[in-house]
Amino acid sequence: MKAVIAGTGSEVPPKIVTNDDLSKIVDTSDEWIRDRTGIMERRVTDEGTATSDLAVIAAERALTSAGISPMELDLIIVATCSPDTLFPSVACIVQDRLGAKKAAAFDISAACSGFNFALSAAAAYIESETFKNVLVVGADTLTKYLDWTDRNTCVLFGDGAGAVALRGEKGDCGVLASYIRAKGEGRDFLVMPGGGTRDPEMKNGRFIRMDGKEVFKFAVHALEDSVKEIIQKAGFTFEDIDLLIPHQANLRIIEHVRKKFNLPEKKVYVNLMKYGNTSAASVPLALDEAVNEGRIKSGDLVVLAGFGAGLTYGSNIIRWR
Ligand code: UT7
């Protein structure tokens, strides 16, 4: 039994914040942000919108495109590190709002790697025939935790959600292999310190803190490793890959890996110019856009790969149905 991606969906908030907008509130410039990251603009939620609001819309679109009704769902996994509340999970909110009355629901916390982690878990449930129809959502609204006076972080992130509806099917298509790893020793390099049990009163602040240089070094290695390992694990070569969808954090990280493995530009999907780093949403949002643009056709071999806080990293390889 394989976990086949039967449908995809995504949602971003309507408000666009450009690099020029940011240069009015912090000492930065469009030129610096483009040169160092590739980002041109990002989407930002308004005060009344939480992660689940984006997740539900992305989920509905994925289910519609798959032709799976909410009542047919056995499990909902939401990858997020910006849940509406510490508990209950975003997945339970999504379950209720979809009316997926027969589904179990839980969140996975692996920051920007979350979608790849959640997809690997979903695939394992389906392959073991524990569940048949599984919804996986990656959703984050990290702009709510940005210090808009800190140019090291506020230029990087944006909000969004992406989802896939998976169905267990026999055959050669679906998730062929998964690879997930963690390096907890680097956990201090990218942190949201407040709000947890170490600091429930948020004395350390309510903003993301990042050592950009350390995360960059890790990210280059993690993306390289995730792509190489998954291709080897599944028994393919780089020439076999039709499309790589990497985590959309920084164009320099993606370009480093693309050049290292001699992949032509058309085989690597990039949309971070429009959205910045949307954390757990980045990979499924890019996947949904790639599908809608006709960049993926039946039989294609697609690699999804990501890295993030934790530190975490991982990948999935999919034969497209
Ligand atoms: O999902 C994982 C999430 N995180 C990441 O992927 C982040 C990984 N790291 C990065 O992408 C890069 O390290 C950054 C984009 C964050 C920074 O790029 P960099 O090339 O590593 O820049 P830097 O930190 O070495 O800073 C170079 C200069 C510094 O000035 P000085 O010391 O040379 O005078 C910074 O103060 O650029 C300055 N700088 C900025 N200038 C204008 C830092 N941020 C900005 C900014 N605008 N936004």
Reported as a single tens digit per residue, the pLDDT across 240-263 is 999 999 999 999 999 999 999 999
Choosing from 172, 204, 232, the residue where a domain stops is 172
> What CATH number is given to the structural domain containing 187?
3.40.47.10
- Mean pLDDT confidence for 187-209: 94
Task: Let me know if 247 is a catalytic residue.
Answer: yes
Cβ atoms of residues 204 and 34 within 8 Å: no
Q: Please indicate, yes or no, whether residues 152 and 57 belong to a single structural domain of this protein.
A: yes
Single residue among 114, 149, 172 that ends a domain in this structure: 172
pTM over 0.95: yes
For the Cβ of 213 lying below 6 angstroms from any atom of ligand 1, the answer is yes
Question: Is the CB of residue 277 below 6 angstroms from any atom belonging to ligand 1?
Answer: yes
If asked whether residues 268 and 129 sit together in one domain, one would say: no
Confidence of residue 74 (pLDDT cuts 50, 70, 90): very high
Q: Are residues 138 and 7 in the same domain?
A: yes
Domain boundary among 172, 189, 224: 172
Tokens representing residue 114 in the block = 């979350």
Answer yes or no: do 33 and 137 share one domain.
yes
Do 133 and 192 share a domain, yes or no? Answer: no
**128 Cβ contact partners less than 8 Å away, ≥ 6 residues apart:** none
**Residue carrying the six token digits 């610096």:** 32
Work out the mean pLDDT of the chain and round it to a whole number: 97
Through-space distance between the first and last CA atoms of the chain, rounded to whole angstroms: 14
User: What number does the ligand 1 atom closest to the CA of 37 have?
Assistant: 15
What pLDDT is attached to residue 67? 98
| Mean pLDDT, residues 160-171 taken together | 98
User: Do 158 and 31 share a domain, yes or no?
Assistant: yes
Number of domains in the chain: 2
pLDDT digit string, tens, across residues 131-165: 999 999 999 999 999 999 999 999 999 999 999 99
Do 132 and 186 reside in the same domain of the chain?
no
- Both structure tokens of 132: 């048949």
Same structural domain, 158 and 18? yes
State whether 20 and 120 are in the same domain: yes
Helix, strand, coil content of the chain in percent (nearest 5): 40, 25, 35
By C-alpha distance, which of 263, 284, 264, 265 is closest to 275? 284
Q: How many Å apart are CA 190 and CA 81, to the nearest integer?
A: 12
Do 291 and 278 belong together in one domain?
yes
What percent of the chain has a predicted confidence (pLDDT) above 90?
99
Please give the residue range of the domain that contains residue 289: 175-319
Which residue minimizes the CA distance to atom 6 of ligand 1? Answer: 249
Q: Is 239 exposed, middle or buried (0-12, 13-18, 19+ CB in 10 A)?
A: exposed
Return the pLDDT at 280: 98
Distance CA 229, CA 181 (A): 11
Cβ–ligand 1 distance for 51 under 6 Å, the answer no
Note whether 20 and 110 are same-domain residues. yes
Two tokens at 153? 């972080």
What spacing in Å lies between the alpha carbon of 152 and ligand 1's midpoint? 6
Decide whether any atom of ligand 1 lies within 6 Å of the 283 Cβ. Answer: no
Look up residue 7 and give its amino acid. Answer: G
Cα-based distances in Å from 147 to 38, 157, 205, 209? 21, 11, 10, 9
pLDDT of 291 reads 98
Tell me the two tokens of residue 161.
């959600």
- Burial grade of 98 (CB within 10 A; 0-12, 13-18, 19 or more): buried
Whether 7 and 152 share a structural domain:
yes
